[in-house]
Chains A and B, each alone.
Chain A
Amino acid sequence: MAKKTFVVGCFDDEAVLFPAVKKTRLAGYKIHDIYTPFAVHGLDHAMGLRETSLHTAGFIYGITGTTTALSGIGWILTKDWPINFGGKPHFALPAWIPIMFELTVLFSAVGMVLTFCYLCQLAPFVKKHHFHPRATDDLFVMVIETTAKTNVEDLKGFLKANGAVEVDVQVAEPGWWLGRYDKEQQLIRDVEVA
């Protein structure tokens, strides 16, 4: 991904942020993202984001777990190595329910967490451009993507008028790369060779 120019507006109160989000969208600016220190309920709706389907993925992983346990135990105890336990049936479904349940939960939980990390691109050693260090502390950071047509000065004034406590312009790489947080690093492809 190439670098882009962003206008960054920081808000210190979510009660100010919500009307600002609405006005920014009405004014036709493209909100790249809003970074918040905690989950602000309703912000995703205000930004017009669609609902996540993560729970559907969790359901699919869950039934995969149930099926794995049932088919695995069923095959082992009736086909591969049937053992006679006191003349009881080989297909002893009630006795398999605990393991079927546990595998349902295990598959669903592990699958969902991995999917979550994949979708949000979270992993050890992953580094992303951080628009404001206080976005994980007490600021709500609205990042607006500019185009060639955007009047940056107008936009900065617009954000200030809507209650932003800090406004600045940043040129940044919106993706992720492998890196360390104690070192400033750039993507190799963005470094100009003299």
Chain B
Amino acid sequence: MHLKYESQLREPLVYGEKTYHQVTEDICRPIEAKPSKLWYIGFFIAVALLLFGVYSVYREVTYGIGQWNLNKTVGWGWDITNFVWWVGIGHAGTLISAILLLFRQGWRTGVNRAAEAMTIFAVMCAGQFPIFHMGRVWMAFFTLPYPNTRGPLWPNFNSPLLWDVFAISTYFTVSLLFWYSGLIPDFATVRDRAKTKLRKHLYGVASFGWIGSTKHWQRHESLSLVLAGLSTPLVLSVHTIVSFDFATSVIPGWHTTIFPPYFVAGAVFSGFAMVQSLMIIVRKVFGMEDYITMGHIEAMNKVIVTTGSIVGVAYLTELFMGWYSQNKYEGYTFWYSRANLFSPYGWSYWGMMACNVISPQIFWFRKMRRNLFVTFFMSVIVNIGMWFERFVIIVTSLYRDYLPSSWSVYYSPTIWEMGFYLGTFGLFFTCFFLFAKYFPVIAIAEIKYVLKTSGESYKDKMAAIEEQEPDEFAHAHAH
């Protein structure tokens, strides 16, 4: 007899009277039902945005970067802002699935599947920006080190931009493998319930012939654990390397050693906010309140207030260093271009401060952490704030740096620059809508695994155990 016991004090992870079969039924229902009208409306809006994005990119590829308002001073604008923003969002999924797995956080099981999917789609969106920023996008493969007929001429391995190529592509590949290896058993579940031939065939192909053998599960557990162990430093390295794109340069405002931890905290912050926005909608639309509980939402809000405060400390440290270093360029950037509300871009700095540092402090109150409306509103605010953060870092550092004769006029994006950004929203939501319709949005096998320890109806039985003397308990349950 193996031991299944979890303290009564912990909130249940699954509510209601559930059996294993009921879990399968609940999670497969959206896949097996016809999509609602709301789904079609959302999907078509997403596809329309995607098409607008495709047209914006088409113009940029045909006519060149001149379609955007970048100039030789502000050489990075909305494109790299959006790149860093999407990569940051893409950090929560792997954090939830990998780091929380290593920390044995049971609540990850309710949200990890959708968060990982979100990660993959966000990284896909992020990748578009540096690729199309190259201008001659058909030359993008020049960044890959392969034996070529031009020497061979190799990329510069000492450059943080090349590190980024490796980091983002590795991150995408590993996240995809991690996600898909978790999906295989769940696809097998959907396959074995399928009523139509086409569905049986397609889920049969996707399930790779999984039948749930004990040996396969043993290897699957080992694989998940090692992939989690690999992904944990990977997720920290990716945003560290993204921050190196800035930190290894000599631009005032970028040239700081605080960047890697500050970027990683910011990435987790924005990623969790995006998970909150999506999960609150998913649990409502699919009626998954029993699986994505208030406890899950509260736990994520705790992560948001923690990382938001870390980011806040980083902002204040930067301001302090801008003064303490007595470097006039740093001082100008931090105290004139950013912290001064009346400078040309002062609004963006204070927008960032309000959204990222001040407003998340509301989550110190339990009532607010467990309020759906506040959570949803805050999750959107946080993502707006994190977009401002990247905009502040990039544009306010570039537009007035060393030489006043090179100072830029006021930079604002063109419609095609904005269209590209909207297009990535289209891509993201098109993928997410398809995912929500055709994939199990909650990891079925993992919920079953925690059901008897953390399910509400099973936890009630633990009360009797908690009354027992420790010796009695050990006698009854020890191997």
Residues of A within 8 A of B (CB): 14-15, 18-19, 33-44, 47, 49, 51-52, 54-55, 58, 62, 72-73, 76-77, 80-81, 83, 85, 92, 95-96, 98-99, 101-103, 105-106, 108-110, 112-113, 116-117, 119-128, 130-131, 133-138, 176, 180-182
Contacts and interface: CB of A to CB of B under 8 A. Distances in A.
A169 to B, nearest CB: 18
Contacts of A133: 192-193
Contacts of A51: 218
Interface stretch (B152-160, B336-344, B369-377): B152-160
A116 B166 contact: no
Interface string B245-288: 00000000000000000000000000000000000000000000
Q: How large is the interface on B (under 10, 10 to 19, 20 to 34, 35 or more residues)?
A: 35 or more
A18 B192 CA distance: 25
Nearest to B3: A42
A57 to B, nearest CB: 9
Contacts of A99: 157, 162-163, 166
Interface in B1-36: 1-2, 19-21, 24
29 contacts: A15-B1, A33-B213, A34-B214, A37-B24, A44-B217, A44-B218, A54-B226, A77-B158, A95-B157, A95-B158, A102-B166, A102-B234, A102-B237, A103-B166, A105-B230, A105-B233, A108-B226, A110-B173, A116-B220, A120-B210, A122-B209, A126-B208, A128-B211, A131-B211, A134-B192, A136-B210, A136-B212, A181-B191, A181-B201
Interface string B151-193: 1111011101011001100100110011001001100110111
B130 to A, nearest CB: 16
B205 interface: yes
Contacts of B244: 98
B166 A49 contact: no
B157 A73 contact: yes
A116 B219 contact: yes
Given A37-B448, A98-B241, A52 B227 contact: no
Contact of A137 (B24, B170, B214): B24
Contacts of A38: 185, 217, 444-446, 448-449
Nearest to B22: A138
Contacts of B21: 137-138
A135 B211 contact: yes
Contacts of A77: 154, 157-158
Nearest to B213: A33
Contacts of A135: 192, 211-212
Interface string B195-222: 0011011011110111111111111111
Given A81-B151, A101-B233, A130 B192 contact: yes
B145 interface: yes
Contacts of A137: 20-21, 24, 189, 192-193
B82 to A, nearest CB: 23
A117 B158 CA distance: 36
B221 A124 contact: no
B134 interface: no
Contacts of B152: 80-81
Given A38-B185, A122-B209, A182-B197, A102 B167 contact: yes
Interface in B362-391: none
A92 B159 CA distance: 11
B102 interface: no
Most chain A CB within a 10 A radius of its CB, from B170, B197, B206: B170
A39 B208 contact: no
B215 A44 contact: yes
B463 interface: no
Contacts of A80: 152, 154
Given A110-B177, A136-B188, A136-B192, A40 B217 contact: yes
B223 interface: yes
Contact of B211 (A35, A39, A108): A35
A77 B193 CA distance: 56
Interface of B: 1-2, 19-21, 24, 145, 151-154, 156-158, 160, 162-163, 166-167, 170, 173-174, 177-178, 181, 184-185, 188-189, 191-194, 197-198, 200-201, 203-206, 208-223, 225-227, 230-231, 233-234, 237, 241, 244, 444-446, 448-449
B445 A39 contact: yes
A41 B3 CA distance: 10
A43 B233 CA distance: 31
Nearest to B159: A95
Contacts of A36: 212, 214, 217
B192 A105 contact: no
A189 to B, nearest CB: 19
Nearest to B197: A182
A109 B214 contact: no
Contacts of B193: 133, 137
Contact of A119 (B151, B219, B221, B449): B219
A136 B211 contact: yes
Given A18-B1, A92-B158, A181 B200 contact: yes
A112 B205 contact: no
Contact of A182 (B19, B162, B198): B198
A73 B157 CA distance: 7
Contacts of B221: 39
A134 B215 CA distance: 18
A122 B210 contact: yes
B177 A109 contact: yes
Which 6 A-B pairs rank lowest in CB-CB distance, beginning with the nearest?
A181-B204, A126-B209, A138-B20, A122-B208, A182-B197, A38-B445
B242 to A, nearest CB: 11
Contacts of A39: 217-218, 220-221, 445, 449
A110 B173 CA distance: 8
A84 B412 CA distance: 38
A63 to B, nearest CB: 13
B237 A98 contact: yes
Contacts of A101: 233, 237
A43 B15 CA distance: 27
A80 B182 CA distance: 42
